[in-house]
């Protein structure tokens, strides 16, 4: 996550002089919403849910996430639940909006060992925990092998699409919040 998006979290340090918000040195949910005027509806709802904690339109966002996952043509086996693809879409959305923080580095992505700062080995420096095959299997109603080999790559693909949305959000926020 970029520095700008990290500033949207509670307890963030003051914003530098190049970035301005309407509330002094803080970026408010209204600032974020105002900057998102030029993104598509899906990205707009995603940003509101992730960075403004606005869940009023979560039902529409869930529908878009399901539509996106179903539109990819993913198939499931007869012994898996009929709503497997829908579950995958909602799980990827949920995981992207509020990922689990790494317990080893406390979400920083870095650990100190012998007076040296290294990338966290547990989360590979992201600060977020990866979804385990067991947890994915439980959520999908599938076996662990199928979850690991089939559903996990699909899940990662959906997550990478949300990362693209995060990058687009970062760009419009930076442009919208710059001090001209």
pLDDT digits (tens, 9 = 90+) for 170-180: 888 888 776 44
pLDDT class of 155 with cuts at 50, 70, 90: very high
Domain total of the chain: 1
pLDDT at 4 over 60: no
The reported pTM is 0.77
Choose among 48, 37, 33, 154: nearest CA to 97.
48
Q: Residue 11: its pLDDT value, please? A: 41
Q: What per-residue confidence (pLDDT) applies to 12?
A: 44
Give the tokens for residue 3: 């520095």
Give me the mean pLDDT over the 114-139 stretch. 84
Q: From residue 73, how far is each of 10, 67, 70, 143 by CA, in Å?
A: 39, 10, 6, 21
Query: Which domain CATH number covers 141?
Result: 1.10.274
Whole-number Å distance between alpha carbons of 109 and 106: 8
> What's the DSSP call for residue 19?
B
Question: What is the extent of the structural domain holding 145?
Answer: 3-177
pLDDT tens, position by position, 70-125: 999 988 888 888 899 999 999 999 998 887 788 888 878 888 888 888 888 888 77
């Amino acid at each position: 996550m970029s520095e700008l998006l990290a500033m949207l979290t509670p307890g963030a340090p003051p914003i530098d002089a190049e970035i301005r918000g309407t509330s002094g040195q803080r970026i408010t949910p209204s600032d974020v919403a105002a900057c998102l005027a030029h993104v598509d509806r899906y990205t707009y709802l995603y940003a509101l849910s992730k960075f403004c904690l606005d869940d009023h339109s979560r039902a529409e966002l869930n529908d878009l996430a399901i539509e996106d996952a179903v539109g990819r043509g993913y198939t499931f086996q007869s012994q898996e639940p009929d709503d497997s693809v829908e579950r995958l879409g909602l799980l990827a959305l949920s995981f992207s909006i509020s990922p689990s923080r790494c317990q080893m580095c406390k979400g920083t992505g870095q650990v100190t060992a012998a007076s040296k700062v290294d990338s966290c080995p547990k989360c590979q420096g992201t600060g977020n925990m990866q979804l385990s095959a067991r947890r994915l299997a439980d959520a999908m109603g599938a076996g662990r092998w199928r979850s690991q080999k089939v559903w996990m790559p699909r899940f990662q693909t959906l997550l990478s699409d949300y990362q693209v949305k995060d990058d687009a959000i970062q760009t419009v926020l930076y442009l919208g919040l710059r001090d001209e």
